[in-house]
Amino acid sequence: MAGDPPIATPADRHYERTRHVWAHRNADSGRVRIGIDALALESLGELAYVALRATGSSVARGESVGTLEAAKMTSDIATPIAGKIVARNDVVLGDPLAVNREPYGGGWLLELEPSAWEDDAAELVTGSDVAEWAAGEAARIAAEGRLD
Amino acid sequence: MWRLLQDDGASAAGGLAGDEMLATRVGALASPPVLRLYTYRPHAALVGRFQDVRQEVCVDWCIENDIDIGRRPTGGGAIIMGPDQLGVALALPRRSEGFDGGARARMARFSDGIVRGLSALGVAAEFQGKNDLGVRGRKIAGLGLHRAPSGSLLFHASILVDLDVALMSRVLRLPLPAETDADRDAIALRTTTVRTEAGSRVPMDAVRHEIACGFAVAFGVDLESSECDSEERDLAALLEQEKYRRDAWVWQRTAVPDATGAARTKTGGGDLEVRVRLAGGMIKAVAIEGDFFATDAAVTAVESGLRWHPTKTDAIRHTVRSLWTESRDATVLADELATAVLRAIANAHHAVDPYGCFVTPETARG
C-alpha cells in the first residue's frame, strides 16, 4: 500500500523467487539456514502451526521439508537448496509466531549441509537484485493477494 | 471442462487419500480440475492437519463405537462426517484464472459454488469468519485449503446436510459442555443444516446435484461426470496405505501447547461466561454464554470471528468491537465481552486444570 514502509528483505541472503523461502550461508561452517521471508508472511498472516522434517534426512531442491498452517490454509515448505538437514529450530515448532516476529532471526526453520550450493544459489535472488525483485513481488502480492 | 466425481461410503483414510490423489494428478497436469462430491460411511472423525487427535476426539468412545478417525491435509478443526454430511474436494492448478487473493479471499471464492448450490435449495448461506459458511451466523459448512507440493490447491468443505448433535458431542471434544439436553441445545444453536433451513428432508443426491450446478455456474465451467482410472485408483490406494492409515500420520502430535480457560463476569447487562481453547498464541475456539441479551447471530459472529485469531490484546479488542457493533440491542458492551475473552485467555495460559479459574473483572461500566 502506498506510504507503507517496504517489507524487509535483507540483501545478505538468497531468496527463492516464487516460494519465498530464504537461504543464508554461514561463511565459516558452510552450512545454510533457511526460513520464510517477510513477503510470504505478509500474505500468509500469523502462523498457527509449523511442522519440520527431522534432522538427518537428505532433501532435493524444491522438496517439501515441512508444512505450515495459517488461517486454516496449510502449505508445504519447499527447500530452496539441496542438502542434508543438520539442525531444526524447535523453538518455532512450539511457538510458530516466532516466525512472524523474527523471520530472518529467531524464526529460522532448518539448517542444511548443502550438497550443491553454488548451483542452487545461482537459481536464487541475492545482493543488488533483491530490492527490485522484492518490490515486484510486493506489488504482485498486493495486486493478487497470493503467493505462488 | 472440470471432472465431476461422486461417491459414497468412503472410509476416513480412503476418502482423504482420494482427495490428495486428485490434487496430485491435477498439480502434475495429468488431470483437468476435479470437483469431488462424496460422503463417508458412518461415521468418521476428521481432525485438522495439525490437531492432536486426543485433544479433539473422544478416542475411547470412537473405538468402542467403530468411529473411524483420520487426519486431513487441510487445516482447521475436528469434524464429524457420515452419510448426512457432504464432503467437497476441489483440486485446481495453483495458478488458476480468477483465484487470486489471500487464503481468506480464495476460500470465499471457492465457497461461492456452495453458496449458489445452497441458494437453489432455499438456503441463504454466506461466508463468515475466516473459513465457515453460515446461515444467520450458524455454521452450515466448514472450509479448508491446502497448497500441495505438487503445484495444486486442494479446497475442502464439509456441508451439514443433517447433523446428529448428540452423536457429534460424543465423538468430538467440543468447547462447550454437552452433558445435558440444554447443553446440546446450546451447541445446536451454533450450527444449522440444509434440512433445517430448507424445512424438508432434502435428499443427499439433490444437495449434491445443486452443489455441482452451483460450482458450474460460479466458475463458468462445464462438469463432466467421471470416475477414477486405474492409475488414479492405484495412487489413491498407495496414499491410503502409506500415509492416511499410518499411525505416524493419524496420531502425530504438535509441539504447540493446547490450553483451555474460562472467565465469568457480572456485567450491567447480565452474567457473561467465555470459554476459550488455545493453540499456543492462537485461539482455536471460543464459546460465549450467559443470561445477557444478544441475538444468536451476534454471539456466533464473534465466536466465528475469533476462531484461529491471534491472542494479542489489541487485535482481540478490535475484532470484538467490529463484530459486536452489529448487535446494537445487546445488553453487554463490546469492551466487556473483549475483556472477558482476554481474561479467559489469561486463565488458559495459567490454568492448572481446565476451566478451573473464574474471575470477575472490572467492566467498562465501572
Cell output for A41: 508472511
Contacts of B196 (CB under 8 A, 6+ apart): none
Complex ipTM = 0.81
Split into its structural domains, chain A has a count of: 1
> Quick count: other Cβ atoms within 10 Å of Cβ B77?
22
Q: Best residue in B50, B74, B278 to probe A by mutation, most A CBs within 10 Å?
A: B50
From residue A52, alpha-carbon distances to A39, A76, B77, B91 in Å are 20, 10, 21, 25
Architecture per CATH, B2-250:
2-Layer Sandwich (3.30)
Sheet holding A21-25, edge to edge: A14-15, A21-25, A32-36, A110-114, A83-88, A58-59
Indicate the residue of A71, A74, A148 with minimum beta-carbon distance to B95: A148
Closest alpha carbon within chain A to B99: A144
pLDDT of the residue at B15: 98
Tell the residue number behind the cell numbers 461417491, with chain if given: B7
**Residue B28 contacts A where some CB pair is shorter than 8 Å:** no
- Which B-chain residues 266-295 have CB contacts (< 8 A) with chain A? 279-282
Contact B101 A146 (CB under 8 A): yes
Cis ω on the peptide bond leading into residue B43 (within 30° of 0)? yes
Q: Which fold has domain B258-350?
A: Enolase-like; domain 1 (3.30.390)
Element (H, E) at B185: helix B181-188
Nearest CA-CA partner of B157 in B91, B58, B252 = B91
Closest alpha carbon within chain A to B257: A94
In CATH, what number is assigned to the domain containing residue A139?
2.40.50.100
Indicate the residue of A44, A74, A97 with minimum beta-carbon distance to B73: A74
Parent domain of A135: 32-144
DSSP 8-state class, residue A128: G
Question: Does A123 reside within a domain?
Answer: yes
Question: Does A2 reside within a domain?
Answer: no
Question: Does A22 reside within a domain?
Answer: no
Contacts of B217 (CB under 8 A, 6+ apart): B113, B116
Tell the residue number behind the cell numbers 472450509, with chain if given: B143
**Residue A70 contacts B where some CB pair is shorter than 8 Å:** yes
Contact B143 A72 (CB under 8 A): yes
Domain ranges in chain B are 2-250, 258-350
Contact A74 B145 (CB under 8 A): yes
**Residue A145 contacts B where some CB pair is shorter than 8 Å:** yes
pLDDT one-digit tens code per residue, A15-65: 998 889 999 999 999 999 999 999 889 888 889 999 999 999 999 999 999
Closest alpha carbon within chain A to B129: A71
pLDDT (tens digit, 0 to 9) for every residue of chain B, 366 residues total? Answer: 999 999 999 999 999 999 999 999 999 999 999 999 999 999 999 999 999 999 899 999 999 999 999 999 998 889 999 999 999 999 998 766 555 566 667 788 889 999 999 999 999 999 887 778 999 888 999 999 898 777 788 999 999 999 999 999 999 998 777 778 887 787 888 899 999 999 999 999 999 999 999 999 999 999 999 999 999 999 999 999 999 999 999 999 888 878 999 999 988 888 999 999 998 888 988 999 888 888 888 888 888 889 888 899 999 999 999 888 756 677 788 889 999 999 999 999 876 444 433 433 343 333
What are the two backbone dihedrals, phi and then psi, of residue B100, each rounded to the nearest 5 degrees?
-75, 165
